[in-house]
Amino acid sequence: MAELVVLLDSDNNPIGHADKQHVHTTDTQLHLAFSCYLYNDKGELLITRRALEKKTWPGVWTNSFCGHPAPGESFDAAIARRAQVELGTRVADVITILPSFSYRAVDASGIVEYEFCPVHAARIDGSLEPNPAEVMDYAWVDPAALAHSARSMPQLLSPWMVEQIEQITQQLPQDHSGVAIPSALRALAGM
């Protein structure tokens, strides 16, 4: 069965949908996605290394998981679905940390990622059983060390994660006053 992604206009309004396999090309149309950072009770963040079979950025370290909401699917439902598919786990306490994040990046093969991609964080609620077709490796990391790596060695990480960490560092303290921010995100933002 085809995995459909929601196509967007330049104002991020839905204008249709297409098969995911046909969307990611050298001329990718803007479409809806999400990124999610999982944290644990120790205050660590989960990073994953993309499987070598992935169409874009194979073998690159990135945030916990990403995905595309299906037409009519909420972000919360899509996040729960992709956590299960990619990592074999459940999530809880989902919050949105960068509601307007978008990016365009071209990988070494020429494939373009062009996504309106709100960024979320969630607490892991179960054990990890990564899908080897999605994730070849994973690590629980200190958020401050991850932020340092994104600044000092960005070439080792996915371009979207580098941009997200920069925005989280700049925006989280200002944009989430009064919201309960998990300690892992506070540490990532240098708070």
Residue 134 annotated as binding? no
User: Who contacts 38 (Cβ-Cβ below 8 Å, separation ≥6)?
Assistant: 45, 46, 64, 65, 83, 87, 89, 91, 121, 122, 123, 124
Is residue 22 annotated as involved in ligand binding?
no
CB 94 within 8 A of CB 16: no
Ligand-binding annotation for 120, yes or no, is: no
36, 44, 66, 163: the catalytic one is 66
- 148 marked as part of a ligand binding site: no
Residue 66: active-site member:
yes
- 31 annotated as ligand-binding: yes
86 in a labelled binding site: yes
Question: How far is the C-alpha of 75 from the C-alpha of 2, rounded, in Å?
Answer: 19
Residue with tokens 């921010």: 181
Query: Which member of 44, 115, 134, 163 is catalytic?
Result: 115
Instruction: List binding-site positions for Mn(2+).
Output: 24, 31, 68, 113, 115
Q: What residues are annotated to the active site?
A: 66, 115
Instruction: List binding-site positions.
Output: 24, 31, 68, 86, 113, 115
